[in-house]
Structure 1
Amino acid sequence: MKVRGAIGSQPVVTLIDLGATHNFIASHLVASMGISIDETEPYGVRMGTGDSERGTSVCKGVVLHLKELHITEDFLPLRLGSSDVILGMQWLETLGVTKTNWKEQTMEFEVNGRIARIEGDKSLGKSLISLKAMARTLSKDPYGYLIELSNTEYQVIPPDPVPLFLQDILSQFECIFQEPTGLPPPRAMEYKIITKEGTTPVSVRPYRYPHYQKGEIRMIKEMLQAKVIQPNNSPYSSPVILVKKKRWLLAFLHRLSSTKQGYGARQVSHSCNW
């Protein structure tokens, strides 16, 4: 839980940490405010980041103000990162019975016969880190995540201009390069499949398509709207066959015509690669 406080007239960010055995104060804050220090036996502290810090001094009788609450404690000066002061078990065990709601970040306890209440500042839960500090942390820990969030903008890039030597050709044959909007022009000879008189359609069971092929069949509707194909109601077989190759092969069955000549019913397809 982080709260805003002050030491004298200097605003500080205070972290109330159940995992800290002692109270700590940022060494840069001690130097800038001229807080007196006393030499002590060398000690080592393992920080929450996994780093180990060593110290040889202590700041005694530092008064920390948390709103209307005045706390006088001894602090060990160390490099603390995003917090200026850490209140650990050294202070918490002096409070006796406390009522803490970590979700709402509130703490209540009795001081001199009255209930004191500390409310955490949720906005202090996020802090900036310098690139140098991040590189130092990643060099000691082989695992880490770097996530960058930013606003993205896109710009429509116009297509490359057509080379000059192709512009005349494209202009001359412009109709060829347009999207088709109808059936091919009539031919001198139409293709037919000749069947014998009295021939009946071959019995072919319905060809069911799995769900993942429905997207390919959607092209039929688009081609009908463009009028590049026309409806086929041939009784001989399904009008469309999908063949799985490197790309989908879409096959359209030609209409069969019945005449007095020929060799019986045959199934012929016209294929398009998609």
Structure 2
Amino acid sequence: MRVMGKIGGQSITILIDTGSTHNFLDPAVFEKAKLHADCVDKVKVRVASGELLSSVGRCKEVRVKIQGVIFVVDVHVLVLAGCDMVLGMQWLRELGTVLWNFNKLSMKFSKDGKEVSLQGLVATKLIEEGSLSQFNKLESRGVVLQVVEGEEVDSAATKAEVPRDLQELLDQFSEVFQEPKGLPPTRSHDHSIPLVSNAKPISQRPYRYPYFQKDEIERIVEELLSSGVIRPSHSPYSSPVLLLVRKADGTW
């Protein structure tokens, strides 16, 4: 959940993250607010990309104002992406019992004997060009507009062009480079996986895959079934499904 806050009069975007063990502050905010850090107390953090980053140091008792409420927190100075500050479990544990409403992006808790309610930022959609005329009817209301210059991008143009000599080679041997439509021809020595005598299938729990990969996995499986590369099987032996990282052009 994201909220807006202030450090020393400087507006910042704060990510409240239950998946983060510590509190973090971006170096840009750290320098602007002229804070002081203990360079000895450093931590190493593995971010979502798998990269291991090291913090600059730790700032103690940083005053953060969120929606009119002052919080005093200790933060580690670390380069962040997408926000200026992260408040993790280090901060959430100090709040005690927290009531979350993820539909409304809000959280409630008690601080100094008073009930505090924080409202998260709600993502806004871009206004379509045809909808701008509707704002003429809102004469008695205040409207904030942000003009963004749009540009239609041809997906084909984003792909790297194939060198001419390489394209001629691909055209000359197009049959070799065609997308396979089925299994390769039968060979004199067929592929087989010999099993050890009296071997039993390995007992292993199936692992979960992200929901956004579901449609792509089902599409690939259906494509392999229709081309004859795979077939339905009730064998006790199986292999896991592995879907690689999405490419820049949107494919897998």
Structure number with higher strand proportion: 1
Larger radius of gyration: 1
TM-score by length of 2: 0.49
Give TM-score, length-normalised by structure 1: 0.45
